[in-house]
Structure formats: structure tokens, C-alpha cells
Amino acid sequence: YSTAQINNTIKPATSWNPNQVLNIWVMQLQGGLLGFAQFPNSGAANTDGVVIGHLYFGNNPSANPFHLGRTTTHEVGHYLGLRHIWGDQNCGNDFVADTPTQQTSSSGCPNHPRPTCGNTGDNFQNYMDYTNDACMFMFTNGQKAVMQNVMATANRRSTLNAASATLCAAAPLTANFTASATTITAGQTVTFTNTSGGPNPITSNSWNFDVTSQGGVAPSTSSVASPGAVTYNNAGTYTVSLLVGDGTSTDSEVKNGYITVLPAGSVVCNDITNYSGTASLLGSGGTGAFGWISGHNNYDDRAKVDKFPAPAPGLFVSSVELQFAKKHAGTPGSTISVNVWNANGTGGTPGTLLGSQTVSINSLNLYPTPTQVTFASPIAVTGAYYVGIVFSANTGNSSQDSVALITNADGETNPGTAWERWSDNSWHAYSETPASWGLNMSHAITVKLCNNAITSVDEAKQELPISIYPNPAKDIVNVVFPSLENNEISVYNVLGEVVYQNNRSTSNQVSINLSNQPNGVYFIKVKSGNQLITKKLMLTK
């Protein structure tokens, strides 16, 4: 980010009350800048504080020689009124009596003494010089006096000592969990993951996998944090609950109709995604409503992918849904590939290519309409795997292809699951530092895992590329069709009752209002021509 972007956009949008806190922003900075600060009694309140390059905050051995956190010390010195020790000019004045007059800034680790400007030796060990982190270790008494005076008298500094507002209360104990699949067939298993958390360690867990006592669930309860596989033997809809405690408080999570069990032999598909939260976009240049372009950029990245955990045995990737914010086809025939890899590459990176589908860039939908890509044959996955897009190997020019794949914001997926392949064909996680972005995020990619292996292209084409969003929904759900044919739409509840029907939709998108329906699981059945598909919908208000 440039200083203009930071001061004009980022700081005003994210600043906390500068009368109560010292704001510190940590981010990627342009031009090799290590950091910068706002001096006392200068600048606007919503830009007050210090900015530190993300590689130079805290202890980061890979950022040597600026790896020990001295950048923050230096910039906070400016925030508290200290100038550079050489006064920012030849033999200048820093207005501190006990710092020797110094000709200019220092670098590296000079040998002592190093006299300049008639002194007996520069104070290059001072935090307000530019030496390596390992060689700076002091403020003088005069500098301490300046900072103490600023803390006592300066605007937005003198109030800090007395500030008592609690700006960051500890997050309360919160129970939550996820499931490896929410729709299965009778006799299959579900693995539940405990995602509860709080300010104190969780000491008790109480699971109920069959709250309504329908039977056929083994085990039906558990008291361990990670209960392992749970078998559902009977068809039906099951409510699951979890009660957690930390010795001082408890919290519970109840998910009504969370697990749907279909009769044995039914075809079952589940949507898997790492993405949740705020639509964002990662990149290194350009502008737009979603931020900056990812994909082919000035780094000539070759691929953007997400890593997914190993699925239950016997599942296949049948299709992928992606959210794009921008697209540019260098030529009318420009394409990208949507690929699936296993994770047997070096260090667990994408390895063997398991399947691929070529897609025209011009055919991609833009957010909020997703792009669905169905593979000619379902792809068997037996361990951790990667799914993403691969760009053609053209080089930087005005007709270069570019695609912007949406991500969520930093920290909303932690640890991050997003990866990229550079122009040298090496793979890097977005979370790497300092090589990559140092960000924890995921791409807006949804994988459809099904329990049937369709083996012919003709059979594969029977699955309509239909998108449903949002899912889960609160009241309005949108159904997007691939064509303008007469599309018949019906929505059923778990009792098989029709709660919505539209027999002749000639639009390629229909909005369905389910605001008068209770929370729970629903099934949207779509017929287009001689093709039929059923999709699961969760209604949560």
C-alpha cells in the first residue's frame, strides 16, 4: 500500500479513538518503506498513530537486518516527539541536548567510535538512527525527557495514561461445530469438528447427535471434544447439539435439522467451501469496487487455488462453483483451466493433476452470480486436495488475460487455505512470510462432493449447472439457470410438502421468498427440459 492509500482510506476507516489508544497499523508497504509515524500535535485524529511494514513488526528472522522489532521502537519514538538523531540534515539539530551532533544517518553496524561534526563519536546505537536492529539499543536521558513531556502535555498523548475504557473485551465462551457432511445416506458416517472457543480452556463437552430421539444413531452422545465418526442408520432429519464449559461458564449450540439422512442408495452431494465472511480481493495493482486484481498481474502469477481437507471415503468432485469480481480476455478465445490436484507435491503442495476443465474467460459470471464448472467425469479424491484456476502462460502485455477471484478478508479463514503458483512454477501459501502476502484467507471456491461416480460424459451432462445463493438463506434465495428454457421449480420441506412452485419460469434467474417458512432443511427441485436436479437449502433466520 502507498502512504496516500493508507492515510486517505485505510486509516480513517479503521482508526480507534486516538485519545484512548496508540493506533498501530501493520501492512505491506510500497517502495521498501519500513514504517512511518504521525508526530504529536500534527495531522488529523483519524490518521494518528504509527504504520509498520508487515515484515518488520516483531521478531522475524527472515527480515534480517531489520528483524528484531526496532522499526516499531523507532516509529513510536517519532509518535512521542523524537526527531532523527542527525536532525534530517548535515550536522543538523534533533533538539535533544545530550545526543551528539551527527553528520547524517548511519547504516549497518559502524565501528565505535565514529566521530563526525566535531563530536567524540556518533550515537549510532540510538533507536532514532538507521542502523541495523541488532546494533541499536538505547534512548538518551534527554530523549526520555522529551517523550515524557509529550505524554504529559501533547494533544492525543496526554489522555493516554488516564484512558480506562475497555476497547477489547475478551471474547465470551462460544460453542460451535461443523460436520464433514450434512446430507448422507442411511448407514454412512459423519465426523463432527468442535470449533468452540473462549478466553479460558474448555474443560467439558457434551454432544447429542440425536436431540429428537429418532434412533439409529451410534453413538448418540459423547463427552469428548472430538467424538470421531457418528453413524446414522435410519433415514430422517436430525438435530445436533453441543454444550461446552470452561469451569466458570457454559454455552450451547443447537443446529436444528442439521443432518439429513436419505434412504440407502440415494445420490448425495455436499457443498464444501473454506470461504466465509466478507467479499474481498487480493492483488498488487489496479482498482475497482472489490479492490485489486489477482490472477495474472505484474508478478505473472500462474494459478490461484485453495486447499481442502480429505473427504469421507467414496466421494467424488463432480463440479466447482467460483466467484469472480473481474475478468479480461486478451483474445476472444482466451481460457482458464479449473483443476483438481492431490496434495502429494513437495511439502504438501499441489501434486498430481487429477482432473481439469477448460473454461472460456468471456463465459465467466461476475459476483454475485457464481460460475459453475462441471467436470466431464467426477474426480475421485482420497486425501487432502487442491482446487483452483490456472492461467495460460502468456507474458505481460496489453492483451494479457486477467481474472480476479474473490477472497475473504485476512483472518476470516485461519489458518489460511489460499495458495498461488508463481511464474517460476513454485507454489506458495498466501500466509507465507516474507515470501508471499503473510495473510490468512481463502478463495470463494465451493466444491461439490458426491457419493456416486458417473463414468460417462453423457451421464455427467445430466447434472444441470444450477447455482443457489445464498445458502444458508434467511428468507430470499436466488436460483440461477444455464439457459432461458421453461424451467420448473419446486421447493419441498423435509415432510415432502410443496412450499413453493413455479411451473414456467422463462428467466435464467428466479428469486424465491421463503420468509413465511420456518428454519430448517428444504429441497429445491428444478426441471429444465428433460433434465432434473435437486439441491439442498438450509433456511436460518
Active-site residue among 75, 321, 420, 463?
75
CA 368 to chain centre: 18
CB 339 within 8 A of CB 308: no
Residue among 87, 245, 255, 264 nearest 182 (CA): 255
CA-to-CA distance for 175 and 169, rounded, in angstroms? 18
CA-to-CA distance for 102 and 456, rounded, in angstroms? 79
Q: How many residues does the chain have?
A: 541
Cell of 75: 516509529
Q: Cell 512454477: give the residue.
A: 425
Residues 16/17/21/27 CA torsion (nearest 10 deg): 30
Cell of 464: 444441470
Q: What share of the chain is helix, strand, coil (3-state, %, to 5)?
A: 10, 35, 55
Active site residue 432: no
Residue among 170, 169, 148, 171 nearest 160 (CA): 148
Helix (H) or strand (E) holding 374, with range, is strand 371-380
Cell of 503: 411451473
Task: Give the count of beta carbons closer than 10 Å to the beta carbon of residue 392.
Answer: 15
Cell of 492: 419441498
Give every strand in the sheet of 487-493, ordered side by side. Answer: 498-505, 487-493, 520-528, 531-539
CB 243 within 8 A of CB 252: yes
Q: Cell 559502524: give the residue.
A: 110
Task: Give the count of beta carbons closer than 10 Å to the beta carbon of residue 324.
Answer: 23
- What is the SS3 assignment for 255-284? EEEEEEEECCCCCCEEEEECCCCCCECCCC
Those residues with Cβ within 8 angstroms of residue 368's Cβ, 6 or more apart along the chain or in another chain: 323, 469
CA 386 to chain centre: 16
Task: Give the count of beta carbons closer than 10 Å to the beta carbon of residue 71.
Answer: 23
Q: Cell 479449473: give the residue.
A: 338
CA-to-CA distance for 54 and 28, rounded, in angstroms? 5
Cell of 146: 522529551
DSSP 8-state symbol, 152: H
CA-to-CA distance for 140 and 148, rounded, in angstroms? 12
Catalytic residue positions? 75
